[in-house]
């Protein structure tokens, strides 16, 4: 009996790894390209874009944030469409459309055109992140989901680890490679191309559901489908879109995510500018390429922190504290960085803050995906993501406005701290008992009985 159980456990472990490494790295690569196209303005701004287009800090914040108005407008409809037509087709469509718009943005003549194309870019990208998160629920049981999501979401810091020096190099060495095109415009043009290429690959590479996977054996399909169906049947979770959209807890999850993303976007869009401002604060001057390389440091540490924290969350089968603790630590780290006595201490604070903020994201997505299934998951995940990403408009604009008003980044970072603490408090007070998962052994036993 013990030998048989050990064989079953080893078989499931092999299956989970097989599915994990087939799906997560590819969708993570898609997100890396997505996030670079979404945030490439942060590298373009100190490299001449603000001067060429006449942007103030508030205007830059508006250009960064208006993307999310288009994004929010189509988020829920896009995710419902993915649930109906299949992830492979819909994600391919999203990738190609945003890649085209992102490249066209290189030719904007003035600020109003930049605002318009950023709005259109948001509409093109709508549904990508919640679509992939929904797609992962089709493949991963809840006890494996946080780790799978971390390999997708780790693209956020990796965009800066990989994308920062690439974007900076394209700016520095791409000047006039195309006659009349400045370095920042060349960078924006080139960073849109990979999305189109990945969209074409996506059409042939992704598989919509386990039942359609030619790369799984019949027995592997049976094991995976049985476990996923068992989880869908368990508990009192909603399956209807209307029920999900009206659930107060779904809206509270959106508020938690708003706070987390407020911190992420405020740091993400302004970090290169913060580092460039070390010249005035500490008398240290960096080139565009050096700013890009320094941006790698906090995000490189954050990438490792995300993966390790997600593994710890899955190992403990707990998500709430794994959201609250790093969110609170992240807020403290960011504010501490603003009062550091030198550039080294400032970078330490920024690194702690960035790692905390990003480490909270994968466990967070373990919460709505445990609460909702089916079409309700499509609508609910999109709603939570929409509410959270509203901070993508508010955060950069408010941070830029406060910077213009005070001549310092400190006021904006205090707002980041407030929202991150709010997210941590709501997580603990409202969701600790709801997501206390100690019944997985019983669920797994039931699945084994179904399969065997």
d(CA 154, CA 363): 12
pLDDT of residue 375: 65
pLDDT of residue 441: 43
Q: Is the pLDDT of residue 8 over 80?
A: no
Which pLDDT band holds residue 206 (cuts at 50, 70, 90)?
very high
pLDDT (tens digit per residue) in 360-369: 998 998 888 7
Q: Is the pLDDT of residue 291 over 90?
A: no
Mean pLDDT, the chain, integer = 83
Most confident stretch, 284-293, 386-395, 410-419: 410-419
d(CA 259, CA 439): 30
Of 325, 294, 317, 298, residue with least CA distance to 439: 317
pLDDT of residue 274: 82
pLDDT of residue 78: 86
Q: Which two tokens stand for residue 264?
A: 């992420």
d(CA 25, CA 307): 13
d(CA 330, CA 413): 11
pLDDT (tens digit per residue) in 109-155: 999 999 999 999 999 998 898 889 889 988 988 888 888 888 888 88
d(CA 199, CA 6): 41
Which pLDDT band holds residue 1 (cuts at 50, 70, 90)?
very low
pLDDT (tens digit per residue) in 243-272: 666 778 888 999 999 999 999 888 877 787
pLDDT above 70 coverage of the chain, percent: 89
pLDDT (tens digit per residue) in 63-108: 877 888 888 888 888 888 888 888 899 999 999 999 999 999 999 9
Q: pTM, whole model, 2 decimals?
A: 0.78
d(CA 276, CA 312): 35
Number of Cβ within 10 Å of residue 282's Cβ equals 14
Cα(first)–Cα(last) distance of the chain, in Å? Answer: 13
Domain ranges of the chain: 19-451
d(CA 141, CA 441): 13
d(CA 81, CA 354): 34
pLDDT of residue 240: 60
pLDDT of residue 326: 96
Residue 176 phi/psi, 5° resolution?
65, 15
pLDDT of residue 361: 92
pLDDT of residue 6: 45
Residue 373 phi/psi, 5° resolution?
-140, 170
pLDDT (tens digit per residue) in 424-452: 999 998 766 555 544 444 444 443 444 34
Q: Is the pLDDT of residue 351 over 80?
A: yes
Q: Which two tokens stand for residue 370?
A: 């445990």
- Say whether domain 19-451 belongs to CATH 1.20.1250.20: yes
pLDDT of residue 69: 84
- Average pLDDT (311-323) is 88
- Average pLDDT (1-21) is 70
- Average pLDDT (373-401) is 78
Contact of 231 with 142, CB cutoff 8 Å: yes
């Amino acid at each position: 009996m013990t030998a048989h159980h050990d064989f079953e456990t080893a078989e499931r472990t092999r299956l989970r790894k097989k599915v994990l490494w087939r799906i997560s790295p590819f969708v993570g690569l898609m997100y890396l390209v997505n996030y670079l196209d979404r945030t490439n303005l942060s590298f373009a701004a100190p490299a001449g874009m603000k001067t060429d287009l006449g942007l103030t800090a508030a205007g830059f914040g508006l250009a960064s944030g208006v993307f999310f108005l288009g994004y929010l407008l189509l988020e829920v409809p896009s995710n419902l469409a993915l649930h109906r037509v299949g992830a492979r087709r819909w994600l391919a469509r999203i990738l190609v459309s945003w890649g085209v718009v992102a490249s066209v943005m290189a030719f904007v003549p003035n600020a109003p055109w930049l605002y318009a194309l950023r709005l259109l870019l948001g509409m093109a990208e709508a549904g990508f992140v919640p679509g992939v998160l929904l797609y992962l629920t089709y493949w991963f049981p809840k006890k494996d989901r946080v780790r799978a999501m971390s390999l997708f979401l780790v693209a956020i810091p990796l965009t800066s680890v990989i994308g920062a020096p690439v974007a900076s190099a394209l700016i520095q060495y791409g000047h006039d490679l195309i006659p009349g095109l400045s370095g920042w415009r060349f960078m924006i043009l080139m960073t849109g191309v990979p999305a189109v290429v990945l969209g074409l690959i996506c059409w042939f590479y992704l598989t919509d559901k386990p039942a359609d996977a030619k790369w799984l054996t019949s027995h592997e399909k049976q094991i995976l489908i049985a476990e996923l169906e068992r989880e869908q049947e368990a508990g009192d979770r909603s399956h209807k879109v209307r029920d999900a959209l009206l659930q107060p807890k779904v809206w509270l999850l959106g508020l938690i995510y708003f706070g987390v993303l407020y911190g992420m976007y405020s740091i993400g869009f302004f970090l290169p500018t913060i580092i460039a401002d070390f010249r005035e604060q500490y008398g240290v001057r960096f080139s565009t390429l050096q700013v890009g390389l320094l941006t790698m440091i906090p995000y490189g540490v954050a990438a490792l922190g995300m993966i390790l924290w997600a593994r710890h969350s899955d190992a403990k089968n707990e998500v709430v504290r794994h959201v609250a603790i790093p969110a609170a630590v992240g807020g403290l780290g960011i504010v501490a960085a603003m009062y550091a006595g030198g550039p080294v201490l400032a970078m330490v604070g920024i690194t702690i803050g960035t790692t905390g903020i990003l480490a909270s994201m994968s466990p967070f997505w373990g919460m709505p995906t445990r609460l909702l299934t089916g079409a309700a998951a499509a609508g609910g995940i999109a709603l939570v993501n929409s509410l959270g990403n509203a901070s993508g408009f508010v955060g950069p604009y408010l941070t830029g406005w406060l910077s213009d008003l005070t001549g310092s980044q400190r006021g904006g970072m205090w707002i980041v701290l407030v929202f991150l603490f709010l997210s941590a408090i709501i997580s603990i007070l409202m969701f600790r008992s709801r997501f206390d998962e100690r019944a997985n052994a019983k669920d797994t036993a039931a699945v084994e009985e179904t399969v065997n």
